[in-house]
């Protein structure tokens, strides 16, 4: 509370408790008339906690002008009585001063916010100055009700760059009309103070988590509204509370899911010099050699084995991987062991398992948990700099929930194709040396909202991860175009992190041209902030101490020729895939990572100082 002088008095505001019934005499025009207002009103007024409250006091002494009197300023508060004296606000009932009455123009005696509760501010003068409240006295009071200002989830329009909002941003999305906006969890007071245009989506009780969901089928949105409480539908994304089995319900309908970050992800970034953005890599013999070793037959075999078209040998026993659902028990355990066995057989590969357990959700006893598999090739000169290739291992069949013995969830495109790319690249790259460390990460829990990758990102807090390439659904193309379109996704242009993502995306596109892959791929960069993929977990700044992590999503044409009819069904099978198209993306991703990491036999890596998260 602030203390101000009231004319010649040290006029400090106080919080003190008096009952109105204790005052018997009302002021008359010829007698002293104290006046006290809240926000310029006689009250009662209601404000939200966190909202500034201005209390002003004035006095007309009437025919008692110049007579000695006791002056009291007081307020009842939810935590007891406070009163104003020369020492400021003090607990209890204490006299402000004894001083002759004189005319006092309105003066602000308090200007700050108040905690939730009921307050009554009093201004009293007592004409028998003995520091005891007794007759005759004259008073005024004003009541202030301070309502709690709860956190809300709000859509906030982005007038410039996302980072300039100065609000706790939890996601940046593009709606069905192509408008980029932020999801913010804050109080209404914070939102109003920020001067932004916003729409409240939900009151946000403590420990509330949200799922963001999108689908390529317009009919799915109406179906979702029938069975779950859709808080908001922007024409592309729907937002629901992550409670009960809502994630499985939406996945069964056909939605892709993202668990919204439970911490603000406001990102800090520095600008990228135009010359660095336009840097073109030089063709490297070692990269050409690695590309030449990528064989379609090998990629085909990996997809076949992961999607149950052919048997695998796991821990010395034959097994058919019918599905890879995160909660399937034996099937996903066999699939993760298959990945472990493959990685352990590669030269120089350090292999580890990251076990994760999700939060217990409201209205459900279901807790998702799983294991991420990590293979690492240690770098030489710059081993602390880490390049990541990531793909989700889990699959889902939206028409069947009995994963332990029910229908298959082959997930050949979604996402055995991405896992096959990682295995093929790892097998080849394990025979080469690189300046930077390369990690190959196979996640679970992606189909339930990227839960596995979000858990992994928290596990590696503070590590110098300088680039991430997510491979998810890279094998479907029936467009007949020559060459077929392929997308690389980044953050939106109004997110400063986009500048760093674009370095990877442009390098990928350059590599495709440089190594003659442009006859197989027409690379189109989509700056759409699609948060459904595992790369979005690395866009969150929360675990990297305000450092933005450059990350992109390598994917088939998910706009005009997407595998939406087969994905999440028993029909997502190897026979539906375009294997030359898939193999070309494996080559392009391998080459991009090789340039980022820098082969020790080459002249040097792509300028990692541009990429380094430590600059951001």
Q: Are 211 and 257 in contact (CB under 8 A)?
A: yes
In degrees and rounded to multiples of 5, residue 136 shows phi and psi of -90, 145
Comparing C-alpha atoms, which of 347, 344, 326 is closest to residue 335?
326
38-81 pLDDT, tens digit per residue, is 999 998 999 988 889 999 999 999 999 999 999 999 999 999 99
Based on the fold, state whether residues 452 and 566 are members of the same structural domain. Answer: yes
Based on the fold, state whether residues 517 and 373 are members of the same structural domain. Answer: yes
CA geometry: angle 370, 373, 378, nearest 5 deg:
150
Based on the fold, state whether residues 215 and 350 are members of the same structural domain. Answer: no
CB atoms within 10 A of CB 25: 11
Based on the fold, state whether residues 182 and 140 are members of the same structural domain. Answer: no
| Structure token pair of residue 38 | 């809240």
Report the pLDDT value the prediction gives residue 274, as an integer from 0 to 100: 43
| Structure token pair of residue 557 | 């044409």
Residue 111 lies inside a defined structural domain of this protein: yes
Based on the fold, state whether residues 567 and 444 are members of the same structural domain. Answer: yes
Based on the fold, state whether residues 381 and 462 are members of the same structural domain. Answer: yes
Residue 488 lies inside a defined structural domain of this protein: yes
CATH, residue 598: 3.40.630.10
Number of structural domains (the chain) is 3
Residue 3 lies inside a defined structural domain of this protein: no
Based on the fold, state whether residues 449 and 482 are members of the same structural domain. Answer: yes
Residue 6 lies inside a defined structural domain of this protein: no
Counts for the chain of helices (H) and strands (E), in that order = 13, 28
Residue 11 lies inside a defined structural domain of this protein: no
Residue 408 structural domain: 274-357+368-615
Based on the fold, state whether residues 379 and 467 are members of the same structural domain. Answer: yes
Based on the fold, state whether residues 282 and 134 are members of the same structural domain. Answer: no
Instruction: Give the whole-angstrom CA distance, residue 427 versus residue 440.
Output: 11
Question: Element (H or E) spanning 466, and its range?
Answer: strand 465-471
166-188 pLDDT, tens digit per residue, is 899 999 999 999 999 999 999 99
Based on the fold, state whether residues 113 and 229 are members of the same structural domain. Answer: no
| Structure token pair of residue 362 | 């409201």
114-166 pLDDT, tens digit per residue, is 999 999 999 999 998 888 877 778 999 999 999 989 999 999 999 888 878 88
Q: Which residues, 6 or more positions from 82, have their beta carbon under 8 angstroms from its beta carbon?
A: 14, 15, 16, 74, 75, 89, 90, 91, 92
Q: Are 169 and 264 in contact (CB under 8 A)?
A: yes
- Residue 413, Cβ density class (10 Å: 0-12 exposed, 13-18 middle, ≥19 buried): buried
Q: Is the pLDDT of residue 472 over 80?
A: yes
Based on the fold, state whether residues 245 and 296 are members of the same structural domain. Answer: no
256-308 pLDDT, tens digit per residue, is 999 999 888 755 543 334 444 456 789 999 999 999 999 999 999 999 999 99
- Whether the model clears a pTM of 0.85, i.e. scores above it, the answer is no
């Amino acid at each position: 509370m602030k203390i101000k002088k009231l004319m010649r008095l040290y006029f400090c505001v106080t919080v003190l408790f008096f009952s109105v019934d204790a005052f018997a005499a009302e002021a008359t025009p010829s007698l002293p008339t104290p006046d006290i207002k809240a926000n310029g009103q006689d009250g009662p007024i209601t404000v939200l906690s966190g909202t500034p409250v201005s209390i002003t006091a004035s006095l007309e002494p009437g025919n008692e002008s110049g007579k000695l009197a006791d002056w009291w300023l007081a307020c009842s508060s939810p935590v007891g009585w406070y009163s104003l004296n020369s020492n400021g606000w003090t607990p209890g009932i204490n006299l402000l001063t004894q001083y002759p009455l004189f005319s006092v123009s309105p003066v602000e005696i308090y200007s700050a916010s108040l905690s939730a509760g009921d307050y009554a501010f009093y201004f009293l003068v007592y004409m028998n100055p003995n520091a005891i409240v007794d007759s005759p006295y004259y008073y005024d009071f004003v009541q202030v009700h301070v309502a709690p200002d709860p956190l809300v989830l709000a859509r906030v329009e982005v007038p410039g760059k996302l980072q300039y909002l100065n609000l706790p941003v939890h996601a940046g999305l593009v709606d069905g009309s192509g408008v980029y906006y932020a999801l913010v969890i804050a109080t209404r007071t914070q939102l109003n103070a920020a001067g932004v245009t916003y729409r409240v989506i939900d009151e946000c009780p403590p420990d509330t988590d949200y799922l963001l969901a999108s689908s390529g089928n317009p009919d799915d949105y109406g179906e979702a509204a029938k069975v779950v409480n859709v808080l908001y539908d922007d024409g592309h994304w729907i937002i629901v509370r992550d409670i009960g089995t809502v994630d499985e319900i939406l996945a069964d309908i056909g939605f892709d899911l993202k668990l919204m970050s439970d911490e603000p992800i406001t990102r800090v970034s520095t600008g990228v010099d135009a010359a660095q953005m336009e840097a073109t890599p030089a063709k490297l013999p070692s990269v050409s050699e690695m590309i030449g070793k990528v064989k379609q037959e090998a990629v085909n075999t990996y997809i076949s084995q992961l999607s149950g078209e052919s048997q695998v040998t796991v821990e010395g026993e034959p097994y058919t991987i019918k599905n890879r659902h995160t909660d399937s028990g034996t099937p996903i355990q066999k699939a993760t062991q298959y990945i472990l066995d493959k990685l352990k057989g590669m030269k120089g590969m350090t292999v580890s398992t990251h076990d994760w357990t999700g939060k217990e959700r409201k209205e459900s006893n279901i807790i998702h948990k799983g294991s991420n598999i990590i293979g690492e090739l240690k770098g030489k000169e710059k081993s602390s700099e880490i390049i990541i290739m990531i793909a989700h291992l889990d699959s889902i069949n939206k028409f069947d929930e009995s994963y332990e013995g029910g229908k298959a969830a082959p997930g050949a495109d979604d996402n055995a194709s991405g896992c096959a790319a990682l295995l093929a690249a790892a097998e080849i790259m394990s025979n080469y040396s690189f300046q930077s460390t390369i990690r190959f990460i196979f996640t679970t829990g992606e189909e339930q909202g990227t839960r596995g990758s979000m858990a992994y990102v928290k596990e590696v807090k503070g590590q110098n991860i300088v680039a991430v390439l997510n491979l998810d659904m890279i094998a479907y193309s029936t467009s007949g175009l020559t060459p077929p379109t392929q997308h690389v996704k980044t953050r939106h242009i109004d997110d400063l992190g986009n500048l760093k993502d674009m370095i990877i995306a442009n390098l990928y596109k350059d590599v495709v041209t440089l190594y003659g892959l442009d006859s197989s791929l027409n690379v189109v960069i989509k700056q759409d902030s699609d948060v459904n993929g595992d790369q979005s977990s690395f866009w969150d700044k929360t675990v990297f101490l305000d450092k933005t992590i450059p990350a992109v999503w390598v994917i088939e044409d998910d706009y005009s020729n997407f595998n939406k009819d087969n994905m999440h069904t028993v029909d997502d099978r190897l026979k539906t895939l375009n294997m030359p198209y898939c193999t070309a993306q494996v080559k392009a991703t391998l080459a991009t990572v090789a340039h980022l990491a820098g082969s020790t036999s080459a002249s040097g890596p792509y300028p990692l100082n541009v990429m380094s998260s430590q600059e951001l």
